[in-house]
Amino acid sequence: MSPQLSPDCVPPTPVEELAVRSADGLRLHVEIHGQPGAPTIVLAHGWTCSIAFWAPVIRQLSDRYRLVAYDQRGHGHSEIPPSAARYSTRALADDLAAVLARTVPAGERAVLAGHSMGGMTIMAAGGRPEVAERTAAAVLVSTGPGRLLDELAVLPESFRPAGLRRFLHGRLLHSRMPLGPVSAVSRAALKFATMGPDSAAGRVEATARIVHACPTTVRARWAGVLGRLDVFAGLGRLAAPTSVIAGTADRLTPPVHAHRMVAELRDPQGLLLLPGVGHMSPLERPVEVAAEIHRMAVAHLTADSGPAADSAPGSVSGSGSGSDSDDFDSERSVVA
C-alpha cells in the first residue's frame, strides 16, 4: 500500500491558470496562487519535477504573496519540445523571460526562487535586461552552475578511479529507463539519491509521484543539457541580491556548489545550510525554504508592503506545519 502524501504536498487550487508562449512559440503552463495584487514571487522547479513540487512552499507563502509557478518546458502541463535542439539553458532563460513579461507588469519586480534546474534557469538568464528589470532578488535552492558530473555523490567514493565514478554517474544521469509505476523499490532509490535519510514517508511519496510523471524522453534530453551545464557566465552577471540554500546531505548538487555560487555572486545575501537535508529541500523542509524566500522579499521587495513584511511564514491553517519534525536546526552564513 502506498504511503499517504503529507497534507501540505497536495497541490493547492490556483487562483488563475495561463498559457504563455516562449520565444520559440512553445506553450508553457503557468499558475497563479495566493493573493492578487500582493508582491510577486516567481517559482521555477527543477529537472523531472513540476509546479506540484512547490505545493508546500506555496501553502506557506500564499497568505501574503502572489505566487507565480510554471512548468518548465516538457514538464507538467507545459508543451514537450519536438526536437533535442529546443532543450538548452538558453531556452530555459527564454522561458523565464516570457513568464516574467506576462505575469510581472512593467515597472514592477518580483523575487525569483529556483530549485535545481530552476536555479540554473535564473543563472542562465543572468545579465538579460528583460529579466533584470523585473527581478528584485533571487533565491537559488539546491542547485549549481556547472561541473555537475564532477561533484555528484550518488555513488560512494569507494568507486575508483575517479574517472570510472564520473562515467557511472553520467550513465545514471542519462538513463532512458522508463520509471513505470511508483513502487517500494523506486521510492527507496529516489529517497537515497535525492532526499535526506530522515525524510518522512509522505514526502518521499510526493517526490516519487512527481518524478515518475516526467516523460522518459524529456528526462533524458534534459539530462544531456545538465551533463554539459555551464552557466558560470550568467551567475557572474546576476546582479540582483541573491541568497543560496543547500542541504548538507544533497547528493545531486552537494554544498560545494553553494559555496562556489556565493563566491561568484555580485551581491550575495547569505548561505542557508540545512543539516541532513537532501536535494529536494523545498519538499523536505518547506518551512525553512519559505522563510528564506520571505526574508529576501521583505528585504528587497516588500519592506513597505504591509502584511507581507510582518512575521515570517509558519504553519498554514489546515495544511500542517510543513515539517515532520520539530527537532531541526539550520545554519546561516551571512556574507558581508
Q: Give CA–CA dist 167/174, Å, rounded.
A: 11
More confident residue, 139 or 177: 139
More confident residue, 52 or 322: 52
Mean pLDDT value across residues 117-126 = 97
> Minimum mean pLDDT among 61-65, 198-202, 287-291, 325-329: which range?
325-329
pLDDT at residue 184 tops 60: yes
pLDDT of residue 273: 97
pLDDT of residue 266: 96
pLDDT at residue 324 tops 60: no
Confidence tier at 304 by pLDDT (50, 70, 90): very low
pLDDT at residue 335 tops 50: no
**CA geometry: angle 243, 244, 249, nearest 5 deg:** 160
Confidence tier at 279 by pLDDT (50, 70, 90): very high
Kindly give, in sequence order, each residue whose CB lies less than 8 Å from that of residue 39, ignoring residues fewer than 6 positions away: 65, 66, 110, 111, 297, 301, 302, 305, 308
Confidence tier at 307 by pLDDT (50, 70, 90): very low
pLDDT of residue 336: 35
> Minimum mean pLDDT among 49-53, 153-157, 316-320: which range?
316-320
Confidence tier at 169 by pLDDT (50, 70, 90): very low
pLDDT of residue 303: 46
Distance, CA of 168 to chain centre: 25
Report the candidate in 116, 123, 74, 77 with the shortest Cα–Cα distance to residue 96.
123
pLDDT of residue 181: 76
pLDDT digits (tens, 9 = 90+) for 193-240: 899 999 999 999 999 999 999 999 998 899 989 989 999 999 999 999
pLDDT of residue 106: 87
pLDDT of residue 329: 54
Q: Which domains occur in the chain, in start order?
A: 7-333 (3.40.50.1820)
Are 279 and 194 spatial neighbours (Cβ–Cβ below 8 Å)?
Answer: yes
Are 275 and 286 spatial neighbours (Cβ–Cβ below 8 Å)?
Answer: no
pLDDT of residue 231: 97
pLDDT at residue 151 tops 70: yes
Kindly give, in sequence order, each residue whose CB lies less than 8 Å from that of residue 196, ignoring residues fewer than 6 positions away: 247, 249, 276, 277, 278, 284
pLDDT of residue 4: 87
pLDDT of residue 178: 54
Helices and strands in the chain, H and E counts: 13, 9
pLDDT of residue 193: 87
Please state, rounded to an integer, the average pLDDT across all residues of the chain. Answer: 86
Three-state secondary structure call for residue 110:
strand
